[in-house]
Amino acid sequence: MRAADRSDLTAAWARVVASAERHGQDPDRVLAVERLSHLSGVAPERVPAVLTGTAAELPLCARVHQRFLRLRATRRDKHGKEWSLAAIAEDFDAPGASLGPLNAGTGLPRLGHAAGVQRFFGVYPGFLLADSKSAVERALATDGPGGRAEGAPGAPDDLERLSYLTGITPEDIRLTLDGTPPRLPLKEQVRLRFEHLRRTRPRADGQAHSLSAIAGSFDASGQSLTRLAQGEGLPNLAAAAGIQRFYGVESGFLLARDSEALSAALAGIERELESAERPAENPMLAVLRAHDVRSIVTRAGRLSPGGWKALADHLDDLLAREGQLGRPAIPSRSAVPSQSAVPSRPAIPSRPAIPSRSAVPSRPDGTEDTKGSKGTKGTDDADDRSAEGGAR
């Protein structure tokens, strides 16, 4: 489902307002423009217009370029400096020059490089691709007081439903839930997810959509998807965005690691099942449960004093990379859009509406050369390696 076809953001906004008030927080501070911008990657000046549904969507190349610049500006290293292109690219075994066109806004990165950038900064797999409405909607859904962050625990029994939502086989879901997710090369993962979409989301007559019909939705030829369907190569970033938009799945569907995809699906199901208000949980207990802190502390207890210092330095690096080290306080009311610029607070239904699957990026202006932007080095094998390139 395209962003334009979904309901506006008023309901999501109202749910966060009500949740903030229940927890004794100022909704204007919780919903400050800078905070929503930090979470969504949408430029602060665009947030009010996106909320009111009056913002024109940016072309894919411009959107990805602006999101990348915002990542570098808001998630700096522990010394407060922007991460260099070389440091970012090194994390997924690519040269810094491969990110030059993305940084300059003159071209799109390769699919594997986009995945690597998002993992380096610790943002969700569709951060660079999501249209503005989807990005703000996600920020509202995952950061409101009392809301569930991505990765919130949950244990539905319906593995087939989880498989439908994530594109992961039931057996691999069991392995992922047990903490031993399979490690597929990015090329193989994207091929399997694409096959899953064609198999589980057929035409009205029960037949799979043809490659020509899928590619035609983003002004490309069916031949452009042949290598992907045969498992011989990755689509370019514009084609990946078009596939996800065609099937109405989230903007990171093809790129998300199994654990990331399963985490998002569990969080969505949990929100669907929440019909009654739950008491606020101690945030420290939530962290302990979600991240197995006890196991980490037990292992860290065997470190030498030098090891403890190295661990502290590494944690500072990770916090800085994700924009959490020395993060400024939430802006005051003056930073919040005026009442005329944001949705009013409508009455909240007794049961929150069940979130639909997130819409995917709006139609890009065109596709890029499957060999990547000029100056990008490496082969499909480099893209495969980027799947293993999580934040160090």
User: Which contiguous run of DSSP H or E holds residue 297?
Assistant: helix 293-300
Lowest-confidence region among 139-148, 236-245, 374-383 = 374-383
Distance separating alpha carbons of residues 276 and 285, to the nearest angstrom: 21
Rg (the chain; Cα; Å): 21
Nearest CA among 39, 66, 26 for reference residue 336: 26
Provide mean pLDDT across the span 24-30.
87
Which amino acid is residue 85, in one-letter code? L
Provide mean pLDDT across the span 13-28.
85
Which range has the top average pLDDT, 10-19, 201-210, 303-312? 201-210
Q: pLDDT at position 293, please?
A: 56
Whether pLDDT at 190 is above 70: yes
Contacts 24+ apart (CB under 8 A), 24-32: 25/145, 26/333, 28/333, 28/336, 29/330, 29/331, 29/332, 29/333, 29/336, 30/144, 30/145, 30/330, 31/140, 31/336, 31/342, 32/330, 32/331, 32/332, 32/335, 32/336
Q: pLDDT at position 168, please?
A: 86
pLDDT digits 0-9 by tens, 337-366: 444 444 444 333 333 343 443 443 443 344
Nearest CA among 6, 16, 47 for reference residue 335: 47
Distance separating alpha carbons of residues 180 and 177, to the nearest angstrom: 7
- Crossing angle of helices 33-40 and 132-143, in 10° steps, is 110
Whether pLDDT at 182 is above 70: yes
User: Higher model confidence: residue 269 or residue 82?
Assistant: 82
Q: What's the Cα-to-Cα distance from 57 to each of 46, 103, 109, 362, rounded to whole Å?
A: 10, 20, 20, 7
Q: pLDDT at position 185, please?
A: 87
Q: pLDDT at position 310, please?
A: 78
Q: pLDDT averaged over the chain?
A: 73
Q: What's the Cα-to-Cα distance from 335 to each of 24, 46, 324, rounded to whole Å?
A: 20, 13, 20
Q: pLDDT at position 360, please?
A: 37
Residues 206 and 181 sit within 8 Å (Cβ to Cβ): no
Residue 84 DSSP SS3: coil
Torsion of CA 181, 110, 268, 261, to 10 degrees: -10
pLDDT digits 0-9 by tens, 47-57: 888 888 888 88
User: Higher model confidence: residue 137 or residue 338?
Assistant: 137
Distance separating alpha carbons of residues 228 and 245, to the nearest angstrom: 17
Distance separating alpha carbons of residues 61 and 323, to the nearest angstrom: 24
DSSP class per residue in 54-78: -PPPPPHHHHHHHHHHHHHHHS--T
Provide mean pLDDT across the span 156-164.
73
pLDDT digits 0-9 by tens, 62-73: 989 999 998 999
Residue 186 DSSP SS3: helix
> Scanning the structure block, which residue is given the tokens 């839930």?
177
Q: What's the Cα-to-Cα distance from 319 to each of 78, 119, 378, rounded to whole Å?
A: 8, 13, 30
Which amino acid is residue 352, in one-letter code? P
Distance separating alpha carbons of residues 36 and 370, to the nearest angstrom: 33
Q: pLDDT at position 375, please?
A: 39
Whether pLDDT at 311 is above 90: no
Provide, rounded to the nearest whole percent, the portion of the chain with pLDDT above 90.
24
Whether pLDDT at 210 is above 90: yes
Distance separating alpha carbons of residues 321 and 159, to the nearest angstrom: 34
Q: What is the CA 141 to chain-centroid distance, rounded?
A: 13
Q: pLDDT at position 9, please?
A: 77
Whether pLDDT at 44 is above 60: yes
> Scanning the structure block, which residue is given the tokens 């094998």?
381
pLDDT band at 388 (very low <50, low <70, confident <90, very high): very low
Structure tokens at 55: 């913002």
Provide mean pLDDT across the span 167-182.
85
DSSP class per residue in 316-331: HHHHHHTT-TTPPPPP
pLDDT band at 301 (very low <50, low <70, confident <90, very high): low
Whether pLDDT at 313 is above 50: yes
User: Higher model confidence: residue 111 or residue 281?
Assistant: 111
Q: pLDDT at position 383, please?
A: 47
Helix, strand, coil abundance in the chain, percent, nearest 5 = 50, 0, 45
pLDDT digits 0-9 by tens, 290-299: 445 555 666 6
Q: pLDDT at position 282, please?
A: 52
